[in-house]
């Protein structure tokens, strides 16, 4: 499986640990493409071993290349499509696509995130590896040219509502390392049946008319442009609320955020009556994190699930919904967040994957 990136635990960042299950935009949020290896010595040793002598992806002789017409799809039960190959092994040298049913919605572009349901099949064995039908849609960043490029290229230019079959050779899929945990080798062609459910443009910034903040909440202003730090103004001498508070300042028109998804966000965090302790702007790019799965502070899990992509959300987090009685320290031992600190966040939701 593809190893997830490591997000540093920066000076009070709401991400709880230094190694979090999250993705760069463009990786499927499912077992097939994302499960991170653990931090154990065995995992690291295995990784070094596999990277030291990778197998070369298979190049198939022309007379062994299977036609895409050898793949058939049936739906014996609702939300349970079955994908079959006429003869295994099914192999191709380049990504091949067949449109089974054209859609009538918008045509996807490289700027979009495509939300799809899919069945994945190992072409060598003909066996189904995974299906997402009957579950929340999986999401692909169609601008990502590195992660499973054959599949993202095949989805580009498809209309929402389309149903397609895609055969992806190893070189345009998992590459020479394959996916040992899923028993996919460097010689296995992957077959996908996909239904394009929706597509939305990956936002560079949140836009819209910002609502006036509620009485007792801090004032907020965010400069126009990608990944800008918010200015959070707390009334002098005001006392923070003792319970979790949130307010949608700009309501996005994108899909609702589902627990377990990976969010890309531009956020700013500040201590109530104090200074900014963290911001995506300091990293120069949106920050990815998993929501609704205990990987961030409770105040985020409770307020961001159910919001819509494109929204700006103001959150006031009391200690009990943040870092609790332990607070959070910097690497030098100084306090980033004291156990008594209430935190204020402005979170712009740019994508939910």
Domains and CATH numbers, the chain: 31-201 (3.10.50.40), 219-352 (3.10.50.40)
- What pLDDT is stored for residue 43 in this prediction? 38
Under a CB-based contact definition with an 8 Å cutoff, are residues 228 and 266 in contact? Answer: yes
Q: Tell me the Cα Rg of the chain.
A: 23
Do you find a cis peptide bond into 39, omega within 30 degrees of 0? Answer: no
- What pLDDT is stored for residue 200 in this prediction? 82
pTM value surpassing 0.75: no
- For the chain, list the strands marked E by DSSP: 71-77, 80-85, 96-101, 112-122, 128-131, 138-141, 163-168, 190-201, 219-221, 231-233, 245-250, 262-271, 276-279, 287-290, 312-317, 328-329, 335-337, 343-352
- What pLDDT is stored for residue 7 in this prediction? 32
The DSSP result for 265-293, as a single string, is EEEEEEETTS-EEEEHHHHTSPEEEE-SS
- What pLDDT is stored for residue 337 in this prediction? 95
- What pLDDT is stored for residue 50 in this prediction? 34
In angstroms, the CA 41 to CA 26 distance is 28
**Torsion-angle region of residue 151: left (phi > 0), alpha (psi -120 to 50) or beta?**
alpha
Of the candidates 122, 133, 131, 126, the one whose C-alpha atom is nearest the C-alpha of residue 168 is 122
- What pLDDT is stored for residue 49 in this prediction? 35
φ and ψ at residue 54, rounded to 5 degrees: -70, 145
In angstroms, the CA 190 to CA 200 distance is 26
The helix or strand, by DSSP H or E, that contains position 46, with its residue range, turns out to be helix 41-52
Q: Is 100 exposed, middle or buried (0-12, 13-18, 19+ CB in 10 A)?
A: middle
φ and ψ at residue 178, rounded to 5 degrees: 60, -150
Per-residue pLDDT tens listing for the chain (353 residues): 222 222 333 345 675 432 222 222 333 433 344 333 333 333 333 333 333 344 555 677 888 899 999 999 999 888 999 999 999 999 999 999 999 999 999 999 998 889 899 999 999 999 999 999 998 788 888 887 888 899 999 999 999 999 999 999 999 998 888 888 889 999 999 999 999 998 888 899 999 999 999 999 999 999 999 999 999 999 999 999 999 999 999 999 998 999 988 898 999 999 999 999 999 999 888 888 899 999 999 999 999 999 999 999 999 999 999 999 999 998 899 999 999 999 999 999 999 87
In angstroms, the CA 84 to CA 164 distance is 14
């Amino acid at each position: 499986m593809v190893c997830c990136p490591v997000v540093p635990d920066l000076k009070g960042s709401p991400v709880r640990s230094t190694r979090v299950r999250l993705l760069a935009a463009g990786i499927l949020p499912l077992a097939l493409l994302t499960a991170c290896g653990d931090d154990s010595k065995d995992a690291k040793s295995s990784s070094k071993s596999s990277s030291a002598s990778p197998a070369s992806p298979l190049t198939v002789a022309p007379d062994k290349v299977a036609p895409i017409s050898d793949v058939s799809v049936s739906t014996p039960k609702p939300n349970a499509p079955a994908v079959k190959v006429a003869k295994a092994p099914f192999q191709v040298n380049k990504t091949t696509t067949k449109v089974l049913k054209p859609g009538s919605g918008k045509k996807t572009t490289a700027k979009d995130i495509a939300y799809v349901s899919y069945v994945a099949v190992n072409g060598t064995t003909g066996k189904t590896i995974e299906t997402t039908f009957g579950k929340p849609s999986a999401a692909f960043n169609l601008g990502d040219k590195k992660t499973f490029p054959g599949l993202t290229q095949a989805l580009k230019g498809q209309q929402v509502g389309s149903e397609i079959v895609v055969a992806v050779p190893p070189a345009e899929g998992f590459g020479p390392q394959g996916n040992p945990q899923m028993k996919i080798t460097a010689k296995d062609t992957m077959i996908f049946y996909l239904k394009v459910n929706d597509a939305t443009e990956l936002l560079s910034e949140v836009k819209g008319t910002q609502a006036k903040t509620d009485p007792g909440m801090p004032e907020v202003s965010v400069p126009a442009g990608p990944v800008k730090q918010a200015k959070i103004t707390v009334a002098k001498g005001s006392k923070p609320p003792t319970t979790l508070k949130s307010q949608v300042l700009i309501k996005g028109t994108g899909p609702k955020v589902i627990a377990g998804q990976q969010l890309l966000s531009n956020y700013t965090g500040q201590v109530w009556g104090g200074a900014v302790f963290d911001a995506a702007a300091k990293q120069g790019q949106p920050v990815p994190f998993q929501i609704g799965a205990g990987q961030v502070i409770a105040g985020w899990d409770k307020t961001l699930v159910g919001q819509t992509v494109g929204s700006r959300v103001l959150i006031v987090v009391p200690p009990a919904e943040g870092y609790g009685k332990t607070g959070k320290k910097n690497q030098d031992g100084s306090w980033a967040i004291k156990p008594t600190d209430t935190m204020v966040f402005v979170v712009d939701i740019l994508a939910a994957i």
